[in-house]
């Protein structure tokens, strides 16, 4: 198991750090290609959401400088983000991925969006060829574990998302959403979830602005709201009491001058911005204006705390499931390492057995069929007894932490690395000899024969085409 993970999340880094490391969807394929080309990386995946940025790699030699990848890719001063980094290796990296995918590491435990986000990151990594082998196995298992956690526990019951917590915060601020006008800026999944919760809690009207107007129309029609051209955002935003924004823009789209303009048009009636975007859509400077109140993704933590106690017991059950799944996955990977060694050992000892029989056959003289069977049974029995202990040890070691060490010892004792190389070299030379022999046969064939062969081939081709 050669997995290594590094990242930041809502627990270790404030939003101003996370937004500097966030990778927008459009740049993710290039980032994955850079990761795949980083020294020591065999496979890699990057997960970038509003609450976390994580890099997971399958390494070539057991370790890789992922901090170096972050320095090279982001070109930031490491002192700005390194104090907030966490790093996991081997089984701990597997456990962390299982917890993230199962929503046990989310701001809101049990929220359903993270599984979809991991699946999207996986699809992108596979599309660019960054995931193809052991990471493929790991992520596929992570999805199965997440499904098992949701099926066997109530950790996702009455599930809430970041968007729904944002709505809850708005209710705490207003007391009620009855008669309130809401503006959704960005028509993605987060905005759609927010719209569902807002209408359920009494919002009177919803405006939707999105860079893609068709998408804004679709979302607005779904909730009997009004779609607004994104170019008209600043002209119309003052109509709303609550603005929920999540655009994925690389910079703030609402600044202090916009807030001043909105307040003037609203005659100083208060306005609440809930910014669930990373990077942030609202400049923190707007919060200094009297009558403008801004809550970003980190502020949502206050609303989250009310959900934690209710889900703690179910989360404990889920953690137990994940512990068992980590162990099962570790055994599976170790089995994949052990099986080739067992096969190589069997092939190696069988080659020795055959060679020794051939070496002494001349001294044995003519053997009857019964004697041949006896020699065969005797030599096979000896080989089986020789193989019994190392193979039993390998199979037992699959469930132990020192499995890799045992595999290495067995391969060294029986010199299996060199034998495998010799076998591959023999196969290569045999293929070359066969190709040379085929060329020699073709060269010796008379020219007329070649022409006859070609002529003979035509009717076969015609008959085949006629039948098809």
- Active site (catalytic) residues: 50
317-329 residues labelled b (16+ CB within 10 A) or e (exposed)? ebbebbeebbeeb
What is the sign, positive or negative, of the torsion defined by CA atoms of 429, 435, 438, 442? negative
Q: What distance, in Å, lies between the first and last C-alpha atoms of the chain?
A: 51
Rounded to whole angstroms, the Cα distance separating 23 from 46 reads 9
Q: Which tokens belong to 47?
A: 């997960």
Bridge partners of 88, per DSSP, are 5
The size of the chain, in residues, is: 468
Asked whether the beta carbons of 252 and 273 are under 8 A apart, the reply is: no
Bridge partners of 271, per DSSP, are 292
Residue 183's φ and ψ, nearest 5 degrees, are: -120, 120
Rounded to whole angstroms, the Cα distance separating 445 from 283 reads 83
Rounded to whole angstroms, the Cα distance separating 387 from 237 reads 77
Question: Helices marked H in 175-255 — which ranges?
Answer: 189-200, 213-222, 233-236
Residue 392's φ and ψ, nearest 5 degrees, are: -60, -40
Question: Helices marked H in 365-415 — which ranges?
Answer: 369-397, 403-413
Rounded to whole angstroms, the Cα distance separating 282 from 162 reads 17
Asked whether the beta carbons of 266 and 153 are under 8 A apart, the reply is: no
Give the max Cα distance, the chain: 113
449-465 residues labelled b (16+ CB within 10 A) or e (exposed)? eeeeeeeeeeeeeeeee
Residue with tokens 């046969």: 441
Rounded to whole angstroms, the Cα distance separating 127 from 82 reads 30
Asked whether the beta carbons of 29 and 124 are under 8 A apart, the reply is: yes
Asked whether the beta carbons of 366 and 419 are under 8 A apart, the reply is: no
Rounded to whole angstroms, the Cα distance separating 189 from 441 reads 67
- Could you give the 3-state DSSP secondary structure of residue 123? helix
């Amino acid at each position: 198991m050669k997995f290594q993970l590094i990242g930041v999340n809502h627990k270790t880094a404030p939003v101003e750090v996370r937004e500097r490391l966030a990778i927008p969807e459009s740049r993710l394929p290039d980032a994955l290609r850079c990761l795949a080309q980083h020294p020591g990386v065999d496979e890699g995946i990057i997960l970038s959401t509003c609450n976390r940025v994580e890099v997971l790699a399958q390494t070539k030699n057991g370790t890789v400088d992922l901090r170096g990848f972050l320095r090279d890719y982001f070109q930031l001063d490491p002192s700005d983000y390194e104090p907030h980094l966490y790093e996991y290796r081997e089984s701990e990296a597997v456990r962390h991925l299982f917890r993230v995918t199962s929503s046990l590491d989310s701001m809101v435990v049990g929220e359903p969006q993270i599984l979809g986000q991991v699946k999207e990151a996986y699809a992108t990594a596979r599309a660019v060829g960054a995931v193809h082998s052991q990471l493929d196995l790991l992520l596929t298992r992570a999805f199965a574990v997440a499904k098992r956690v949701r099926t066997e526990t109530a950790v996702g019951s009455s599930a809430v998302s970041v968007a729904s917590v944002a709505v809850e915060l708005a209710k705490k601020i207003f007391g009620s959403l009855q008669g309130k006008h809401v503006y959704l800026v960005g028509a993605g999944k987060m905005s759609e979830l927010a719209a569902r919760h807002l209408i359920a809690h009494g919002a009177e009207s919803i405006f939707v602005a999105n860079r893609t107007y068709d998408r804004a129309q679709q979302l607005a029609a779904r909730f009997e709201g009004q779609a607004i051209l994104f170019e008209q955002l600043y002209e119309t935003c003052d109509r709303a009491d609550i603005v929920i924004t999540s655009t994925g823009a690389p910079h703030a789209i609402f600044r202090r001058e916009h807030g001043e303009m909105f307040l003037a048009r609203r005659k100083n009636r208060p306005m609440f911005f809930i910014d669930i975007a990373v990077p942030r859509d609202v400049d923190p400077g707007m919060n200094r204006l009297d009558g403008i109140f801004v809550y970003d993704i980190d502020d949502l933590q206050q609303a989250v705390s009310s959900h934690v106690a209710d889900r703690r017991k179910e989360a404990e059950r889920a953690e137990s499931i994940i512990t068992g799944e980590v162990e099962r996955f570790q055994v599976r990977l170790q089995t994949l390492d052990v099986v080739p060694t067992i096969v190589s050992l069997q092939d190696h000892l069988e080659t020795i057995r055959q060679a020794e029989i051939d070496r002494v056959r001349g001294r044995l003289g003519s053997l009857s069929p019964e004697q041949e069977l006896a020699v065969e049974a005797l030599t096979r029995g000896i080989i089986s007894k020789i193989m019994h202990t190392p193979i039993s040890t390998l199979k037992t070691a699959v469930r132990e932490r020192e499995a890799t060490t045992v595999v290495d010892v067995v391969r060294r004792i029986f010199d299996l690395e060199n034998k495998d190389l010799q076998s591959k070299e023999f196969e290569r030379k045999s293929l070359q000899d066969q190709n040379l022999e085929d060329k020699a046969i073709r060269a010796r064939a008379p020219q007329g024969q070649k022409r006859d062969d070609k002529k003979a081939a035509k009717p076969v081709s015609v008959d085949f085409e006629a039948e098809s």
